[in-house]
Amino acid sequence: MDLMNDKLPKIKIDKKILFIVLISFFSGLIGGFLGNYLAKDFTIVFEKFKIGSLQQFQQKESSEYLPQTSQEDAIISTFKDVSPSVVSIIISKDLPIFEEYYLNPFEPFGGDPFGFLIPQRRQKGIQKQEIGGGTGFVVSSDGMILTNRHVVSDKDAEYTVLTNDGKRFTAKVLARDPVQDIAVIKIDENNGLVPVKLGDSDKLQIGQAVVAIGNVLGEFRNSVSVGVISGLGRTISASGGGAVETLEDVIQTDAAINQGNSGGPLLNLKGEVIGMNTAMVLSAQNIGFAIPINKAKRSIEQVKNLGKIVYPFLGVRYTLINESIQKENKLPVDYGAWIISSAGESAITPGSAAQKAGLKEGDIILEIAGERITTDNSLVKIIIKYNPGNKVNLKILRRGEEKIVEVTLDERKE
């Protein structure tokens, strides 16, 4: 069979169908081209919109948020600026040296055949030894240094100042504050140290970032810790230097304050001293306290002008009254200072201003010069505003009767 000569069957195509097919083909081709073009253009517009929105968001965020690097820069700058003015205080004292030896009690009788010996100790001599340490910071160009009173409380000890660059200076205690945990010491005038900048502790805010610098554990000089102000106006009982005292109106911070930090500066991020580190809670983590620097300014100026720190003295022992004290003791008022003896000591100091004015145990001092005494505004807070020799009027409550008593304040001795 010759396939080449075979005739193929003919297929009849409708012209209308062909026209529709051709129209569909070209329509799809054109539609695909336009769709692809428009999709690209839409993507470009959308991407531009995304970028613009992101830039606007970032600009808005940067204006409201302080980047971490800026805070770190402030901390580093604060440390570099203040660190040369922070010193370590070394406490030294002459202490006896003992040596151990063994005594044979039977030696006078020919000795002990069993080798029985009794350990003994005898003094070999006296040697100067380091017994503690603390921190301080320079407050004047002539070498005045501020620290805690409990750091330099031992009057028989010697104090050496060690600077950040390793220089040593013998320090003299100029004054110990009789009321607050503050002391001022001094080193040689030719020390080359720059005083710190003192800030304003009356403008502090809870949550404000702070930096603490100190001689941690008496070993790690100029150690830095960072935190915030956790509270203001705290009242605590603190022990140190062999004494227990009540500290009022102090700053609470979570910046780590360790042993040896006492007397070191608490700083804001401007590099200004706003407090002096003074106490910590041993049973908790990161609860420390600092004396507001505005309280220390008074002591510094008095030492410069008077050569000592003076306070007015009334001469009473008292308990601040609140609702609980009132109910417990059936008192007629829920405020004031209730004059009462404590720990076996007299309520009225003999020969004091209070005794001279005729105050008695059981009296309640309601006001001083028209200022009411409360747990937030204690007798000490009010009295400290005056100077020795000032005359003030006290409103007292005695056996249900109010009286006005004039008192001439004495000077409190150290």
State the pLDDT at residue 28.
59
- 305/388 Cα distance (integer angstroms): 16
pLDDT band at residue 30 using 50, 70 and 90 as cut-offs: low
Element (H, E) at 298: helix 293-306
Q: Is the pLDDT of residue 211 over 50?
A: yes
Q: Is-above-0.95 flag for pTM? A: no
Cβ atoms of 169 and 298 within 8 Å: the answer is no
State the pLDDT at residue 41.
47
The predicted model gives 54-82 an average pLDDT of 64
Query: Which domains occur in the chain, in start order?
Result: 83-107+117-186 (2.40.10.10), 200-306 (2.40.10.10), 312-411 (2.30.42.10)
State the pLDDT at residue 239.
58
State the pLDDT at residue 22.
56
Q: Is the pLDDT of residue 164 over 90?
A: no
Q: Is the pLDDT of residue 290 over 50?
A: yes
- 154/337 Cα distance (integer angstroms): 32
Question: Alpha helices, DSSP H only, in 307-378?
Answer: 323-329, 353-357
The predicted model gives 4-8 an average pLDDT of 36
Greatest C-alpha distance within the chain:
154
Candidate list 181, 249, 363, 410, residue with the active-site label: 181
Cβ atoms of 363 and 290 within 8 Å: the answer is no
- 200/366 Cα distance (integer angstroms): 31
pLDDT band at residue 26 using 50, 70 and 90 as cut-offs: low
- 389/377 Cα distance (integer angstroms): 22
Per the annotation, the verdict on 410 as an active-site residue is: no
- 410/414 Cα distance (integer angstroms): 13
> Residue 101: CB partners within 8 Å, gap ≥ 6?
119, 120, 121, 122
Q: Is the pLDDT of residue 19 over 80?
A: no
- C-alpha closest to that of 211 among 165, 247, 264: 264
Q: Is the pLDDT of residue 409 over 90?
A: yes
Which percentage of the chain shows pLDDT scores above 90?
A: 41
> Phi/psi zone of residue 412: left (φ > 0), alpha (ψ -120 to 50 degrees), beta?
beta
- 276/181 Cα distance (integer angstroms): 10
Candidate list 88, 150, 223, 230, residue with the active-site label: 150
Pairing of strands 272-280, 288-292: antiparallel
3-state SS track over 88-153: EEEEEEEEEEEEEEEECCCHHHCCCCCCCCEEEEEEEEEEEEEEEEEEEEECCCCCEEEECHHHHC
Question: Alpha helices, DSSP H only, in 261-377?
Answer: 293-306, 323-329, 353-357
Per the annotation, the verdict on 181 as an active-site residue is: yes
Tell me if residue 309 falls in helix, strand or coil: coil
- C-alpha closest to that of 266 among 211, 194, 206: 211
50-to-37, 56, 69, 205, 341 alpha-carbon distances in Å:
20, 10, 27, 40, 76
Cβ atoms of 129 and 168 within 8 Å: the answer is no
Most confident among 11-25, 47-61, 66-80, 219-233 (mean pLDDT)? 219-233
pLDDT band at residue 294 using 50, 70 and 90 as cut-offs: very high
What does the pLDDT look like over 351-370, one tens digit per residue? 999 999 999 999 999 999 99
- 394/401 Cα distance (integer angstroms): 13
The predicted model gives 64-80 an average pLDDT of 74
Per the annotation, the verdict on 150 as an active-site residue is: yes
Cβ atoms of 376 and 358 within 8 Å: the answer is no
Element (H, E) at 304: helix 293-306
The residue written with tokens 């810790």 in the block is: 225
pLDDT band at residue 122 using 50, 70 and 90 as cut-offs: confident
Amino acid of residue 290: A
Q: Is the pLDDT of residue 7 over 60?
A: no
Cβ atoms of 219 and 260 within 8 Å: the answer is yes
- 276/182 Cα distance (integer angstroms): 9
Candidate list 223, 262, 299, 352, residue with the active-site label: 262
- 169/84 Cα distance (integer angstroms): 15
Cβ atoms of 325 and 331 within 8 Å: the answer is yes
Residue 62 CB-density burial (10 A; 0-12 exposed, 13-18 middle, 19+ buried) = exposed
The predicted model gives 104-110 an average pLDDT of 64
Token readout for 41 is 């253009």
Query: Which of 61-70, 123-132, 280-289 has the least mean pLDDT?
Result: 61-70
Residue 399 CB-density burial (10 A; 0-12 exposed, 13-18 middle, 19+ buried) = exposed
